[in-house]
Amino acid sequence: MPVISHPNLPSLERLESSGLVIRTEDLEKKSYSKHLHIGLLNLMPDPAFQATERQFVRMLACNDEFLVHLYPTSVETENRSDRFKTYITEHYNEIDDFQQRGYDGLIISGANPSQKDMTKERFWDPLIEVFEWAESNTTSIMCSCLATHAIMKAKYEVEREMRDEKAWGIFKHQLGEDHPLIIGLEDGFNGPHSHYYDFPIQAIESTDLKILASNDFAGIYLAASEDSKLVMFQGHPEYSENSLLKEYQREVNSFVNGIRDDYPPLPYDYFPSAAVGKLEEIKGSILSKPSEIKLDDDLISEIDIEWQGASKKIYDNWLQFLIQS
């Protein structure tokens, strides 16, 4: 299932050769019997903004039976560079125009938290406004990480709690109740996490949401309403193989620049053993002479990306639900 973005997104050009993306001008060259229209509310900061586009597109292109039309939009989240302000103006749908359409589904990305109280974030009011609009104008809303935290607070009055230790890395998950979104998955499937906050299991169980996958340490990976109209990820199935590598690099450089006090630990069960020794050498060098780093993808050339199969299965189940609704 290729994806076509309205308007075309320059960052997706690298996916065209693999057949995951087609351009609007090529749409007439092939006919598709089934079409889905998906909105994407991208709240990510500049360094991860375009990578987030590609991550979700790879997930949406998990089935070749039909064509997915993607409609990206954004709202004010934080101070952006002039480059990305221009990028959004030229290549994203303005939010008022975006809300003139109805969609089969809406994906709300995570965001960059700057404070404990989410209601004080710049994105809070526009995010909740879009969510409430989407409840009446989409078949299903899929939330990612911090968006899940925001909606849990706004819709269910469930507060997230700071963890003693960040859940960061690749974790195995236990399946919960039977649900269409986890058809085809097996107990122990892998999935990425990256979050400092979490929800008590009892708080989730007090809502109408069903816990579909979780890890004893990392917490909830996926929860959803029984009718699949609300899908809540605390994990990151959309992550590509180098997403945690780039996050680790940003955290190390934050330490170098005095933004964080401690040197970041390695993401759990992510780096292959051959890379761990190299990263320890880099750590020793930085502690003796601090300087920013740029980590090469060669460090993860041997990682097991088995989690992507499970991730695509969940997305495929979601898209099948949208087609049938």
- From the list 62, 149, 236, 247, the catalytic residue is 236
The identity of residue 69, as a single letter, is H
Query: Where is average pLDDT lowest: 21-25, 233-237, 273-277?
Result: 21-25
User: What is the residue range of 248's domain?
Assistant: 243-300
Question: Has 177 been annotated as catalytic?
Answer: no
Phi/psi for 21 (5° steps) reads -130, 140
Q: Please count the structural domains in the chain.
A: 2
Do 156 and 248 reside in the same domain of the chain? no
Same domain, 45 and 152: yes
* Residues 233 and 292 both lie in one domain: no
Q: How far apart are CA 71 and CA 97, in angstroms?
A: 11
180 and 145 both lie in a single domain? yes
Instruction: Give the angle subtended at the CA of 77 by the CAs of 263 and 192, to the nearest 5°.
Output: 45
DSSP bridge partners of 5 = 70
For the stretch 227-243, pLDDT in tens is 999 999 999 999 999 99
Distance (Å, rounded) from C-alpha 203 to C-alpha 87?
40
pLDDT in tens, 89-127: 999 999 999 999 999 999 999 988 778 889 999 899 999
Helix, coil or strand: residue 165: strand
- Considering the domain architecture, whether residues 210 and 266 belong to the same structural domain is answered as no
Phi-psi region for residue 228, left (φ > 0), alpha (ψ -120 to 50) or beta? left
145 is catalytic: yes
Q: What is the CATH number of the domain that holds 166?
A: 3.40.50.880
Residue type, 1: M
Residues 62 and 210 in one domain: yes
pLDDT of res. 53: 95
Calculate the CA 46 to chain-centre distance: 15
Indicate yes or no: pTM above 0.85.
yes
In a shared domain, residues 128 and 253: no
Q: Is residue 236 annotated as a catalytic residue, yes or no? A: yes
Q: Quick one: 82 and 165 in the same domain? A: yes
* Catalytic annotation, pick one of 145, 149, 173, 179: 145
Q: Out of 121, 238, 247, 251, which one is annotated catalytic?
A: 238
Q: Check whether residue 247 and residue 135 sit in a common domain.
A: no
